[in-house]
């Protein structure tokens, strides 16, 4: 079975498109849901993501994969692919950035990861444990791609859940404005270098949790 690294493919595709002078951004679309996970003592321990890829990229990523049932793949059949994918996420800081009371926090490597395939699209599930449990008054979690090669959009229904959070915690989600039209005016080299290398920050999904 030929294994593919989803995020390695993204970079390779990006370089190819840049060489060809293609100007449109982004190139891959992900619909995301997130769960913030709390321990019994009220500390936050990590975040659980589910990222559903667009149908075109899903078709590209599964090309050459063989399943027992034509046009379908089990979680077990996708397990090696899931492993290579989550391993490649580290290079991009898992596209997940956290601050606790204004201080940057880091994550351990993903756990409980798997891919599933439904309605001809791939969804990557994984959990990011924090380096250490935290009890901040305010937690800010942002999900985005700095280069805006990938467009992360939080799901319309139930995009974020607090799992086991204390009763005094309140969450709000700030979705990015649609800046795709502006992005298309810039070429690939602009995104890779210079003042716009972090252009994707304009399209960050910002989750803020305030706890009393």
- Over residues 103-151, the pLDDT tens digits come to 999 999 999 999 999 999 999 999 999 999 999 999 999 999 887 788 9
pLDDT (0 to 100) of residue 163 = 97
Does the pLDDT at position 190 exceed 60? no
The b-or-e profile of 29-51 (16+ CB within 10 A means b, else e) is: ebbbbbbbbbeeeebbbbbbbbb
pLDDT at 9: 56
- Tell me the per-residue pLDDT of 62-100, one tens digit each, with 9 for 90 and over: 887 877 887 789 999 999 888 888 888 888 899 999 999
For the segment 185-195, the average pLDDT, to the nearest whole number, is 46
**Residue 103 neighbours by CB under 8 Å, 6+ apart:** none
Structure-block tokens of residue 36: 């913030």
**What phi, psi does 22 have (nearest 5°)?**
-70, 135
> What is the tally of structural domains in the chain?
1
Higher pLDDT, 197 or 91: 91
Q: Note whether residue 81 is domain-resident.
A: yes
Which residues form the domain of 163?
A: 6-211
Q: Is the dihedral of CA 212, 129, 144, 197 positive or negative?
A: positive
Indicate whether 99 belongs to any domain: yes
Radius of gyration of the chain (CA): 18
Residue found by looking up tokens 């034509």 in the block: 70
- Within a domain: 123: yes
pLDDT confidence band for 60 (50 / 70 / 90): confident
Q: Distance between CA 151 and CA 146 in Å, rounded?
A: 10
Is residue 29 a contact partner of residue 54, using CB atoms and an 8 Å limit? yes
Helix (H, G, I), strand (E, B) or coil at 49: strand
Residue 1 resides in a domain: no
Mean pLDDT of 140-163: 92
Asked if the structure places residue 80 within a domain, the reply is yes
């Amino acid at each position: 079975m030929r294994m593919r690294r989803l995020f390695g493919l993204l970079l390779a595709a990006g370089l190819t498109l840049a060489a060809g002078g293609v100007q449109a951004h982004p190139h891959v679309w992900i619909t995301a849901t997130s769960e913030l996970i709390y321990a019994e003592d009220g500390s936050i321990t990590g975040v659980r993501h589910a990222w559903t890829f667009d149908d075109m990229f899903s078709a590209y990523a599964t090309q050459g994969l063989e399943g027992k049932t034509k046009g379908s793949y089990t979680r077990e059949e996708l397990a090696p692919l899931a492993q290579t994918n989550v391993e490649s996420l580290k290079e991009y800081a898992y596209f997940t950035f956290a601050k606790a009371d204004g201080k940057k926090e880091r994550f351990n490597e993903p756990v409980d990861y798997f891919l599933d395939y439904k309605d001809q699209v791939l969804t990557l599930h994984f959990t990011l444990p924090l380096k250490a449990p935290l009890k901040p008054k305010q937690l800010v979690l942002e999900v985005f791609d700095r280069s805006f090669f990938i467009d992360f959009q939080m799901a319309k229904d139930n995009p974020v859940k607090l799992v086991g959070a204390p009763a005094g915690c309140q969450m709000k989600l700030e979705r990015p404005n649609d800046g795709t039209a502006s992005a298309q005016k810039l070429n690939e080299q602009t995104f890779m270098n210079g003042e716009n290398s972090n252009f994707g920050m304009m399209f960050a999904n910002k989750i803020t949790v305030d706890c009393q």
